[in-house]
Amino acid sequence: MIREYVRVWRARGWMKKNMPFLISWHAYVGYELDLFKSFEKPASIEEVAAARELEYDLLKQWVEVGIILKHFKRLSGEKVRTMKKWKLPKSKSNRFSSGIILKEMMELHIPSLLAYPELLRNQTKQHFDSSVHGPTVAKTSTLLEQLAYPKVEKVMKKYNVDSVLDVGCGEAGYLRKLAKKFPHKKMVGVEVNEEVANSARKIVEEHGNIEILNKDINEYQPEDRFKLVMANNLLHYIEPDERAGFFQNAAQWIKKNGALSIITPIQKPKHGKEFSSAFNSFFMTFDNLYPVPTERDLQGFAEKSGLKMMSLDPIIKEGGWYIAVFKK
């Protein structure tokens, strides 16, 4: 009898722990189909289902959940309206929408974590298809950029930087921000994903001092050295055994007294252990993404390539995300 009671009590506990998922799921569906916008002005479910050609029952259910979560309000005459818009992700067409993180979590992180039993059983890993997920990942990186950029600007000033190389530049958000502040300094971004590189070119087209190269950094040899080399959120794309080699190459690309600046989650950090372990669990389901380094790894790579670690500062403490700066 007691055993039965404990079972139900525990099950209830798991269900309660999972409650916040409903909120994220609801916001994700709304973002993905731009549904919060569809109900910005009072509209009935029938009207939206017809106008957007959506399955009526599912839309109705999703709206019902939204009413319970207070994402929507039911009005008279079967109409519904979006509530607390400031709390919800902005439209997909808005480059600054927070919804992109929901998309990455729901389409990439959670399915990968759910694949664990199958991957474990089959003694296999999945493959990260950057042509599918590359654009989403590049966009979510711009969220971190917002917080990390001021630290990068500090490095520019401290090392009297005249030229910047950004390897794995994604949509070149850092270069774009730097170019606004330093319009006459030479900046080069290297990005392996063609779609992402093209979108980076578009984003920086007004800045004549930025050049974007669609290249693999393993096949890249710059003609000139740079005062600052950046590698932001790139290390988990590089096999742990190849990271020392990457540091050695990067050290070659840097001018004397220049700097290497690396943004990455750290494994087993002082703060943010849960986030960092969740990221690692996700990365490790892929045969072409790798666990993030520890602080000691970074120290070791630097020493082997003649660089000195000058600082390791948290960007998001609870996320275990750091910026490490090395001097040549």
Q: Which residues of the chain form contacts with ligand SAM (CB under 6 A)?
A: 130, 134, 137-138, 141-142, 145, 168-170, 173, 190-193, 196, 216-218, 232-234, 237
Burial class for 151, CB neighbours closer than 10 Å (0-12, 13-18, 19+): middle
Among residues 258, 224, 231, 249, which one has the least CA distance to residue 326? 258
The Cα–Cα gap between 106 and 72 comes to 21
Q: To the nearest whole angstrom, how small is the minimum distance from the Cβ of residue 259 to ligand SAM?
A: 16
Asked if 304 contacts 243 with a C-beta cutoff of 8 angstroms, the reply is no
Q: Nearer to ligand SAM by C-beta: 265 or 272?
A: 265
H or E stretch covering 261:
strand 254-265
Q: To the nearest whole angstrom, how small is the minimum distance from the Cβ of residue 311 to ligand SAM?
A: 18
Q: Nearer to ligand SAM by C-beta: 83 or 312?
A: 312
- The DSSP secondary structure of 161-176, one letter per residue, reads -SEEEEET-TT-HHHH
Q: To the nearest whole angstrom, how small is the minimum distance from the Cβ of residue 134 to ligand SAM?
A: 5
Q: To the nearest whole angstrom, how small is the minimum distance from the Cβ of residue 276 to ligand SAM?
A: 15
The Cα–Cα gap between 126 and 123 comes to 11
Distances (CA, A) of 232 to 82, 84, 167, 197: 37, 34, 8, 15
First-last CA distance in the chain? 69
Q: Which residues pair with 164 in a beta bridge?
A: 187, 228
Among residues 19, 315, 310, 285, which one has the least CA distance to residue 146? 315
Q: To the nearest whole angstrom, how small is the minimum distance from the Cβ of residue 218 to ligand SAM?
A: 6
Q: Which residue is nearest to ligand SAM (CB)?
A: 170
Q: To the nearest whole angstrom, how small is the minimum distance from the Cβ of residue 125 to ligand SAM?
A: 17
The Cα–Cα gap between 153 and 145 comes to 12
* 55: region left, alpha or beta (phi > 0 left; psi from -120 to 50 alpha): beta
* Amino acid at site 147: L
Q: Nearer to ligand SAM by C-beta: 142 or 267?
A: 142
Torsion angle defined by CA atoms of residues 189, 196, 101 and 36, in that order, rounded to the nearest 10 degrees = 130
Q: Nearer to ligand SAM by C-beta: 156 or 234?
A: 234
Q: To the nearest whole angstrom, how small is the minimum distance from the Cβ of residue 5 to ligand SAM?
A: 48
Q: Nearer to ligand SAM by C-beta: 168 or 272?
A: 168
Over its C-alpha atoms, the chain yields an Rg (Å, rounded) of 23
Distances (CA, A) of 53 to 45, 46, 47, 248: 11, 10, 10, 55
Q: To the nearest whole angstrom, how small is the minimum distance from the Cβ of residue 174 to ligand SAM?
A: 6
Q: To the nearest whole angstrom, how small is the minimum distance from the Cβ of residue 110 to ligand SAM?
A: 18
Q: Nearer to ligand SAM by C-beta: 37 or 145?
A: 145
